[in-house]
């Protein structure tokens, strides 16, 4: 997946949020909306498949927990996920800098 790919950008954004603390899927979506507004309002149908793939890849792990009286799957980043995020964060920052340079002329 390339840096401009929506799925790869969502993966890095979810890892960024999870590096700040454990969360369930809806809280992650709300966190994206809160921090970035409508520009990063991913539909629920795109967030959960990425979380599931991240878990299969060993980047996150999850447990069922009761949150606000409801059973939810709560995700947390693994050490492998933290290392992957650190690597990808640097690559994304370089990519964004290059894009900005070109777009701003």
pLDDT tens figures, 54-91: 999 999 999 999 878 889 999 999 999 999 999 999 99
Task: Map out the domains of the chain with their CATH numbers.
Answer: 6-103 (1.10.10.10)
Q: 72: which strand partners?
A: 65
Measuring CA to CA, which residue among 67, 51, 71, 69 is closest to residue 59?
Answer: 51
pLDDT tens figures, 7-44: 788 999 999 999 999 999 989 999 988 888 787 778 87
Give 72's DSSP letter: E
Cα–Cα distance list, 39 to 33, 34, 42, 76 (Å): 8, 11, 9, 25
């Amino acid at each position: 997946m390339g840096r401009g790919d929506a799925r790869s950008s969502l993966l890095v954004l979810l890892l960024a949020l999870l590096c700040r603390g454990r969360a369930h899927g809806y809280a992650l979506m709300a966190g994206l909306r809160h921090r970035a507004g409508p520009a990063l309002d991913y539909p629920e149908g795109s967030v959960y498949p990425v979380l599931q793939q991240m878990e299969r890849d060993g980047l996150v792990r999850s447990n069922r927990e009761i949150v606000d009286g409801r059973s939810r799957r709560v995700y947390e980043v693994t050490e492998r996920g933290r290392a992957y995020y650190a690597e990808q964060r640097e690559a994304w920052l370089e990519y964004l800098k290059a894009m900005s340079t070109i777009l701003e002329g």
